[in-house]
Amino acid sequence: MANRAWALGDSLEHARYLPNRRIEIANIDERMRNLANMMDWMKYLPPIQFEKNHNND
């Protein structure tokens, strides 16, 4: 998550809220849009399974 926040640092600084605490749509740039789409898409991926290494060298 830290890498995502770092990549969006500049975009998040320019984000503005409306009086009802929603984000102003005009301030959402391409990086924020891409990250939101990627995070939504990742919800549908199967869980990552790591192979266990059984070498006892």
How would DSSP label each residue in 18-57? Answer: -TTSPBPGGG--HHHHHHHHHHHHHTTSPPP-PPP-----
Amino acid 26: pLDDT: 79
Maximum CA pair distance of the chain? 63
Q: What are phi and psi of 10, to 5 degrees?
A: -65, -40
Amino acid 44: pLDDT: 92
For residue 23, list its beta bridge partners. 17
Compute the distance between CA of residue 27 and CA of residue 7 in angstroms, rounded to an integer: 16
**For the segment 7-56, what is each residue's pLDDT rounded down to a tens digit?**
667 777 777 888 998 878 777 788 888 888 988 998 999 888 888 776 65
pTM: 0.49
